[in-house]
Structures are given as structure tokens and as C-alpha cells.
Structure 1
Amino acid sequence: MHPRDHSHDSRPAIIMADSGGTVSFAELDARANRVSHLLRARGLQAGDRIALWIDNSPYYHEIAWGAYNAGLLFVPISTRLKAEEAAYIVRDSGSALLFASPSVDCAGMAAILGEEVEMLILGDSYDRAVAPLPTTPIPDETRGSAMVYSAGTTGRPKGITPHLTPAPIGEPHPLTTTLIDLFQLDANTIYLSPAPLYHTAPLKWTMAVQQAGGTAVIMEKFDAAAALRALETHRVTHSQWVATMFVRMLQLDEQQRRFDNSAHRFAIHSAAPCPVPVKEAMMDWWGPILHEYYGGSESVGQTAIGPQEWLQRKGSVGRATRGILHIVDEAGHELGPHQTGLVMFEGCGGFTYHNDPEKTGRAYDARGWATFGDIGHVDEDGYLFLTDRRDYVINAGGVNIYPQEAENLLSTHPAVQDVAVFGVPNAEYGEEVKAVVQPRDPAAAGPALAGELIDWCRARLATNKCPRSIDFEADMPREPTGKLLKRLLKARYWPQPSGENHV
């Protein structure tokens, strides 16, 4: 199962929702083959890495499929990152080539990397490099994979490296097969992807749709009203969202919310917990077509829940569809129904955190069970309910934000004595970034210093990683060993759970 299986016809593999640009399966296969030839011409073999610092565009899939067909690991990088942040990922991943959109800071990246890594700019040096290359497949095709980046113990992101084994390109990864079967993806699927392709789910899902022979309709940038128009215009059958997108669509006025939803059969959501009232409102509006799944870039397991099941168990993320689900206490002992502990999966482990054996070790136990690091409980029928996260990852609108980067940066400001960064409730995004600062001069605490620190952070990090607000403390809670008791600070901003048996 592969997009090439459908290259005999002119059906679109890609439609850009805003511009209307299309790429047929035949065109996608030809362009991907040129990329594969380019990679081999640069001396890259199966298991090598390339990086993609690219906006949503047809270029994304031709490069991703070209790397996939050549057995490479391709590393998506957020276009929101500044050049120094993106360069860290390029270097850490060992990427030999960087493909970049002209809209990102190519000059800044070039100044940092120099001749260390070749950078090909879309619409410029990239187009010249692939133009003369063959559109036929390379002779030694083998299945590759994405290598996405997550948080590391130092605050720097860490690559999630899948265990690659040689396999034909037409043999999908088991996760892809699960998605295709679970959500009935086929050649009649028209799938709307409203999120950036540098995120794991949008990239993997659009590629799964193309493997099944369906069409991926890709928004260049999310807009609530435009998303509804795209659902109607393209007769979309499947779509995927995060809870923040639901909130924004529900905030539209009555006229903007009117659209023909008759073709829409699967509205899938994941990445961040969806508040029960928001999901209820979406069900009332779109009908019982909302499907939810829980998983992660590490692919250690997955749960899913359909609309009718959810209406009977509101707040659940479903039962296991990949792997065997376990809830364990701090000692690793399995817990019973309604007991809260660490969520683990058996039978799907197969990754390492690149250059971080400590973080890899924390993801597995002695039995080989693996975890995303989330806390939750199951009911008597095995339905999972998530309640917390093991670490202090901030989930803002489905995007994971790792507070250590902002915390480390703010700690270097001359006005800061001590600092903690964590997530606090946000009605639209679920969470937002908050900093609590102990100033060197207590008299300086106030709005002026808060604004200065926020601006200082935004000049050095991607805006979404920076605090949206800052509070001040005369003294920070620390253990005698010096460990910051961040949980005590965070607890002040969050409602305290009740009614569960926490272990």
C-alpha cells in the first residue's frame, strides 16, 4: 500500500485549500522519485537523516515521500523556531541535508551552519537540484520514517528515533495500518488537514491517507471560517482537529457557522484533552461524528473511542487499539479500575530518544512496557481517562511546549534571581505558559519588569514557548537540596482533583 499504487490516474493526492493548487498521484510519485535520486546522488543511504524546515506546501510531501522511499529518517522542524533553535535540531539529528522554505530565516541558518550542512531552498536551489533527475524509482527502495523531536532532560528537544528494519515501501508501518482500518481510509477519502505539517499527526495522517489512495486537502494556515468553507467546498469525508480549533469554530457567529456537512463522516481529534462541554457542543452542531484517539510520537500504543461510546463515557479517550494498556503505581505494580497511576503499553515499544539514554530509560520498564509519561485511570471496561502528566510539559492547543527552555533563558536575565515556568489554565488553548519570578531587587517586581522579561524572551525563543504572563514571588519554594518544588507553585493556578484514589 503506497501512493505509487494510484499513480496510474490523475486523481489529486494533494489539494491546497487556500490556493487551490493540486498535485496528482502521478505527479507526486514522479517528484518523490526525483528526491530519492537526489538523496542517493548526495551519498545518502537508508538510515541517514535529512531535515525539513518547510511551510505547508506541496513540497512537503514530495520530499517526505522521496526520503521515505529511500529508507531515510526525515526530521520535521517547526517553522516557528528561530534559526538557532532549528540549527540545534539539524545538528543534533545528524541531518546531512536541510530543505527550507524561503519564508524561514535561511540567511540566519546559513550563518550558523556555514558549510556544515547543505541547505536547499524551495523555489530556488532545490528546484535546480531536482529538475534534471529521473522521475523513475531508484533501484534500492526501502521504507523510511519520520524522526520527530520531543523534550529532553536538559530542556533541549530530543529526537524520537524509530527502530527501522528493512521493509518494502508498500508495506505500511503497523500504526498506519491501524489508522487506515480504524477510520476506514480508502480511495474515496477526502481528508482535511488544518494544522502545520511539521507536527507529527498532520504529517503522518496525510501520508496514511495518500497510502490508502485518498486525497489530502491541506490548509496553508488554520482559520476557523476558512476551515468550514473547506469542509463544504471539497466535500470532505474525514478531518482532524485539536480542541482549540473546536473552540474557535464555536466562537463564530451564526452566519459563519452555516455549511454543508453532509459528506463529513469522521471528525477526528487528539493531541490535547477536549473539555467535555466543548465536545458536547461540537456533537450538537456536527452530529455524532467525533472520533478521538490517544497516542504520541513515540508510538508505544494507542487508544480510540467513537462518538456513541464517548456519549456513554464522557471524558474517556477510549480503549487500547494498539498494545495492551496498563496502569501502574510508582513501584511498577499494576493498579485496578479507578486507581490513578502511570499509563503504560505493552507490545508496541520500538524507539529511543536520540542521544538521551536517561530519557529513553524512563520511557520503558523492566518488562519492556513503555509510556508517553501520562497519568490516568481505567474503568471496569478498560476505558482510559487521562488526569495529568508525569512531567511538566505544557500542552497549548495540541502543541507540546517544554518550559525548561524558557526557564533556562529567563534565569540568565540580570534582573532574575530565580524562576519557574509551567502551564496554567487557558479557556481557548487548554494551557498557556506562565512564569513565576523571584527578582533580584524585590522593589522591581511589577508590570514594567514583567513586560520587559516577556519581550526579552520573545526576542530569543519562538513566541509560543514564552510566558504570556509573569507573577512575582519574594522567595521560591525549594528543597534543602536546591530542587525547585514547581508543583507547589503550579497547584496555586489549577483546580485540585477530587474523587479519585491517587497512588
Structure 2
Amino acid sequence: MAGKRFWDRAQQNPTRIALIDPAGEAITAGALFGSGNQAVRVARARDVRAGDTVAALLPNCRELIELYLAAMQAGWYLVPINHHLTAPEVAHIVTDSDARLLVTHEWFRDLARDAVGLLADAPAVLTVGDCGFGDDWRTALDAQDDDLPDDRTSGGIMYYTSGTTGRPKGVRRPLPTSGPDENAGMYSELLRLCGISSSEDDVHLCTSPLYHTAVLAFATDALHGGQTVVVMDRWDAAGALELVARHGVTNTHVVPTQFHRLLALPDEVRELADISSLRYVLHGAAPCSVDVKRRMIAWWGPVIVEYYGTTEGGGTVVTAAEWLERPGTVGRTWPGAEIRILDDDGCRVGNGTPGLVYIKLGSEPFEYHGDPDKTAGNRLGDFFTVGDIGYVDDEGYLFLCDRVADVIIAGGVNIYPAEIEGVLLAHPAVADVAVVGALDEALGERVVAVVLPMPERAADPSLIADLLAHCAGHLARFKTPTEVRLVESLPRDPNGKLPRRLVREQVRAATDPAPG
């Protein structure tokens, strides 16, 4: 079955279970094949044509997979929208992407209604469940034929960046000129680049929102590879372990926050967990502290594979064995990729010297939709950067330090929050942490750690003293936080990404510049 696409596999083995939704319903490949074909006809009846954009404001559900299968064979750009955004942010993405159709869910009824109400030229709307507006998705599909549609042509995904440095921007690539049945390679590209094989004996567990680039990419790669895809609608550490055991999950994609929460489970839960079916566990999307990863490898073994990539492209990959020899690395470039470390003048720096990480553009160059200045601004010849700082060792392994926008400059010295956060996360009382710079009259900035304690640990002055002492024992004095603030929550999104800018603004709003 090598080189097959979902449509081929579904026609050859329609009774195979392709998807298990969050409610536990098993959906066959034949059923998904038919509903994906119906979705093409439903959108075309609403004047959606090849090259147009369809937006999805949906939870993790079968309808999102159906819409994906439709887009990939009808030549549309599919735009998955983060349902944790505000109505103005959703409206911005719908408008900016030129979406001709919005598919949403009754869970997000108010958000969708408010967003559509802000649009001067609203697209057609289809709804899953009762939203009180738009046409019902399932009713519309049931009225259409379910065989392969005519005029099939390859589509693509236009993901929107997380907007940590401004409004989200769509990352748009040219659509393939060949049809979906000639694009077998692109449907398993990520798994192949990470050195991972796929077969109909495999089971993939989707643990995070499908609007996230890597989550949808790995889940749909698995789908095209013939795997059964098990979908969670929200993360639960104990629940994920139960699904691994129940379905014999062979692979999954997680983020470091999920590792941390797995490690926080009671010892008896972790000891009884049956993870023997796991062959590989991919992780990325956010920095992972050395302590957390070391403990996960000790528990789950050599199945853990880390990658570094961005919505714009990538990247690197590293196995557990390689990582244990070089703790903290995100790996070496995967086939066809190239990375350069450059200084502020665009000159290459030596091995071991931090600089801006530039990644070579792939065979399908991207643009930021509607923003040529931003597109040009992150380019240097055939390379692009998203603002990550890192260095390469003598063997070509990449180590990331931080993002340019997050670096704290205290007394002219660059301090990388990720390093301090890694130290604090190694403390057993810390559930989560964000390190930011507060304004300081003498130094320019000073280091502040915003800490979410573990539920069982009292948030009192003794904890602050413990954390400061812990940092002093592991960090140079200039890196040690001058202040620790204990909070009840941090604004980390389900993908594990932390909008550090928001934390920094909150800290600075509550802090007068410290006198020199």
C-alpha cells in the first residue's frame, strides 16, 4: 500500500476503521470517503471554486476531517481557526483569508455569530448542530451524492500564525498543479522527514486542537498512511493514557506542557499505565525543559522523537538516543533542509555562537497572505527566520536559546527566559512558569518569574523563598529572578504556546520601574 492516498485506501478497504471521534464513535474509511465527497458538492453549490478559501471554526470532530478531505481534492485553501480567539480576531481571519464559506459548530455559536456580525461581506455559513443561523452541515451533505466528484484538483492548508508579534498572518503556498491522486508524497511528508513509517496496523492519537499546524498535519498524514486516527476533544493526561491502552495507540504528537502534566500524575497511575504499544511519540511546538524530557524518556523509553519546525517551514529532528548524548538539542536538519545561524548583519557565526536561526525555503515557498512587507522582512536570499535564537554545535546539532522578542536585556546582557523556565520547571512545586522582563531604571530590565504552583503546594512566601534558592543554586546571579510572582493560571493555549507578550504586559502594568 506504499504511496497510497486516503481515497485509494478507502475504496479498496471501505470497512476499515479510519477515525474514532471524541465520543468514541468508530467511523469507517468508506463513510469518511463518502462524506468528504459530499462536502465538495455542498461547497460548490455555494459557489466555492478551486483556488477559493474555506474557513473552519470547529472543535476536534469528524466534520473537520470531512472538510479537510473535501478541500484537498477540490482545490481549496482550508483555514482552520483557533476557537479560543475573540470574535474580532476570528472576523479578521475570515476577512483576511477571503473565505467564501465558514463552517462552525454549536459549541461556538456565540463566537461565530458575533464574528459574522462584524463582517461587512459575510460568507456562506454551514453549522454543525443548532446555531440558530446558517445551513445544517449534515442535512446539506445528506442531500448530495457520495461518489468522487468531477474536476478534482489538489488543495492546501493556509494556517494562521499565532500572532505573538502582532495580528495573525496566513501562511500561504502555491497549490500543487497536479491532482490529489498524483500527490502521494506530500500526504506523508512530515512522517517521512521524521524517519517514521506508517501502515494500516498503526493507530495515531490526536491529543491537541486540530487548528494547530503540526497537529492537523500529523493526524492527516496518519490518515493518508492508512492509520486509524483517535481524536481527543480536550487534553486529559489520565484519559490519554487510557486511550493508548484501549486502542493500542502506536504513535502520537504531544507538546511539552502535556509531558509535564503526564509526569504530574500520581505514581500509581503512571506505574499502571500500559504504554507498550507506543512506537514513536513526536513532540515539538514549544520548548521542552531538559528535566521534563529526561524524565519522559526514563518513563516511555526511546520512542520519543523531537522536531523543530514552524508554520512557515522547517526543520530538524532528533531521536531520544541522540538527545540523551546532547541534552537540549532539537536535532539536525532533516532531508532537504538547511539551517544557518546569522548575526544582526546577516553574516554567518561560528559553531557554538548564538544568532538568528535562518531556514532555507523549501520547494514550495510561502508568503504571508496580503502582507508583502512581512514576507520580505523575514527573508535573506533563499532563507527565512521567525525570530528564533540558537546555535549549532560542531556536529550540526541545533540548540535553541529563545525568541528575539522574548530576550531580556539587563545591563546590556542578553538573558534567555527559556533557560530560567527550564530550571524552575525542575522544581517539584512548579506546574507552569513564564519568565519575562520588568522595567528597571538602572538595568533597563530585570528578571521576573511568574509561577503557577502545583495544586498541592501552598502559594505562600515560603514557596517563593524555595524557588529563589533553587534558582540561585542552578543559575548565574545575573540570571536569577529578582522577583517571583505566584498566580492561579497562565494564558497558555492548548498547543502549549505561551503568549509571553501578554504576561510581560501584565507584569509591567503592575510594576513601577524599580529604582536604581
Which band: TM-score by shorter chain? 0.7 to 0.9
Seen in structure 2, the aligned counterparts of structure 1 residues 120 and 310 have a Cα distance that, compared at 3 Å, is: same
Unaligned runs of 5+ in 1: 395-421, 439-453, 458-462, 478-491, 493-503
Alignment correspondent of 2:154: 143
Whether the 8 Å contact between 1:377 and 1:385 is mirrored in structure 2 is: yes
For 1:219, which of 214, 232, 256 is the aligned residue? 232
TM-score where L is the length of structure 2: 0.77
Q: Secondary structure of 1:160's partner?
A: strand
Task: After superposing the two structures, state which structure 1 stretch, 428-437 or 341-350, moved more.
Answer: 428-437
Q: Which residue of 1 aligns with 2:180?
A: 169
Equivalent residue number for residue 166 of structure 2: 155
Q: 1:305-330 CA distances to partner (integer Å, 9 max, x unpaired)? A: 01111111111111101411211112
Cα offsets for 1:217-256 (capped at 9, x unmatched): 1111100110111111111110111111011111110222
Find out whether 1:21 has 2:25 as its counterpart: yes
Asked if structure 2 preserves the Cα contact closer than 8 Å seen for 1:142 and 1:167, the reply is yes
User: Match for 2:172: what amino acid?
Assistant: T
2:328 aligns with one of 304, 307, 315: 315
Q: 1:153 to 1:293 in 2, by over 3 A?
A: closer
Match of 2:302 in 1: 288
Q: Which moved more, 1:274-283 or 1:150-159?
A: 150-159
Pairing partner for 1:3 from 2, 6, 19 = 6
Q: Partner of 1:267: helix, strand, or coil?
A: strand
Q: Report how many aligned residue pairs link the two structures.
A: 427
> Which residue does 1:410 correspond to in 2?
none
Partner residue in 2 for 1:327: 341
Instruction: Give SS of 1:318's match.
Output: strand
Q: Quick check: 1:244–1:430 contact (8 Å CA) kept in 2?
A: no
Counterpart-to-counterpart distance in 2, 1:121 and 1:437: 51
User: Is 1:379 aligned to residue 390 of structure 2?
Assistant: no
1:107 aligns with 2:113: yes
> Contact (CA 8 Å) 1:73, 1:144: kept in 2 or not?
yes
1:351 aligns with 2:363: no
Partner of 1:403: none
2:339 match: secondary structure? strand
Which of the numbers 120, 143, 167 marks the counterpart of 2:126?
Answer: 120
Contact 2:206 / 2:253 at 8 angstroms: preserved in 1? yes
2:37 maps to which of 11, 26, 33:
33
In structure 2, what is the Cα distance between the partners aligned to 1:232 and 1:119? 39
Find the counterpart in structure 2 of residue 443 from structure 1: none
Query: TM-score with structure 1 length normalisation?
Result: 0.78
Report Cα offsets for 1:131-159 as digits up to 9, x if no partner: 21111122111111111111569821111
List aligned pairs for 1:34-433, cutoff 5 A.
34-104=38-108, 105=110, 106-113=112-119, 116-124=122-130, 125-150=136-161, 155-170=166-181, 171-172=183-184, 174=186, 176-180=188-192, 182-257=195-270, 258-299=272-313, 301-321=314-334, 322-348=336-362, 350-365=365-380, 367-392=381-406, 425=421, 427=425, 428-429=431-432, 431=434
Residue 17 of structure 2 is matched in structure 1 by: 12
Give the counterpart letter for 1:15 in structure 2: I
> What's the CA shift string for 1:165-208, capped at 9, x where partnerless?
31221314648424236211222221111101111111111110
- Contact kept, 8 Å, 1:195 with 1:202, in 2: the verdict is yes
After superposition, the C-alpha distances for 1:266-315 in whole angstroms (9 at most, x for unaligned) are 0110011111111111111111211000001112x210001111111111
Name the CA shift for 1:287/1:153 in 2 (closer, same or farther; >3 Å): closer
| Identity percentage of aligned residues | 34
Gaps of 5+ in 2: 131-135, 409-416, 426-430, 442-487, 492-496
Q: Which amino acid aligns with 1:108?
A: D
Q: Distance in 1 between matches of 2:115 and 2:407?
A: 27
| Separation in structure 2 between the aligned mates of residue 11 and residue 41 of structure 1, nearest angstrom | 30
Decide whether aligned partners of structure 1 residues 434 and 217 sit closer, same or farther in structure 2, where only a CA change above 3 A counts.
farther
Equivalent residue, structure 1, for 2:474 = none
The root-mean-square deviation of aligned C-alpha atoms, in Å, is 3.0
| C-alpha contact (below 8 Å) 2:19/2:231 kept by paired residues | yes
